[in-house]
Amino acid sequence: MKVEYVEVKGAWREVADAARTTIGMEKGLKEPSSAWKIKMLLAEHSPIRQLSVKWKWKNLKYWVSVHFVRHKIGIEHFVSTQRSDRTGKNRDKSFQSAPVTHECIADAQAIINISRKRLCLLASKETTAAWKAFLKELKKKEPELVSVCVPECIYRGFCPEIKSCGFYRTPAFKKQLDEYRSQPD
């Protein structure tokens, strides 16, 4: 599996202008600071949906692709077909591990939400690896967004899973939680 590309659509200036609109202000001239971006992302205010990201995985296992397709709010998926009439291969003979190309476009809110599920230690290792590969590439362009992409237990401050992995009882959890909560004011 390889992340072929990551493109950011929209600009932080548009996010800031949308935020200004929501509080009755005119468009501004000043570029948003890193601290302001993090505040907006942590608050999850609606203007962050102005920022979207497009990416493509190549050779993603079909069953891993299915895990991502389950996310549907704020994201669109485009997955290569397995239709026999298009591929010339008998679909009934394909394995769930068959490679597919999976392209997405998602807003910042969706990326935060997906991270909560796919960075969880109970998520499949392969799915987590694919998501981490995407976040690694995204960090080069949007480090503030990636800084707020955390597993559900860090996001909530406790584990809501019915059968917990127990991570929330460890010093590593406490350290990650403290880092997440100490984002710039």
End-to-end CA distance of the chain: 37
The predicted-structure confidence for 23-36, as pLDDT tens digits, reads as follows 888 887 788 999 99
Residue 83 pLDDT exceeds 80 = no
The predicted-structure confidence for 117-156, as pLDDT tens digits, reads as follows 999 999 999 999 999 999 999 999 999 999 999 999 999 9
Task: Give the separation between CA 177 and CA 51, rounded to whole angstroms.
Answer: 25
% of the chain at pLDDT higher than 90: 81
Amino acid at residue number 133: A
Q: Find out whether 102 and 77 touch, Cβ atoms under 8 Å.
A: yes
Q: What is the DSSP string of 66-110?
A: HHHHT--SSEEEEE----HHHHSS-GGG--TT-EEEEEEEEEHHH
Task: Give the separation between CA 147 and CA 139, rounded to whole angstroms.
Answer: 8
Distance of CA 124 to the CA centre of its chain: 16
Per DSSP, what are the bridge partners of residue 54?
Answer: 7, 105
* Domains in the chain with CATH codes: 2-181 (3.30.1360.170)
Give the phi and the psi of residue 8 in degrees, each rounded to 5. -95, 130
Per DSSP, what are the bridge partners of residue 105?
Answer: 54, 76
pTM above 0.85, yes or no: yes
Q: Which helix (H) or strand (E) holds 31?
A: none
Task: Determine the 3-state secondary structure of 130 from DSSP.
Answer: helix
For 171, residues 6+ apart whose C-beta sits below 8 A from its C-beta are none
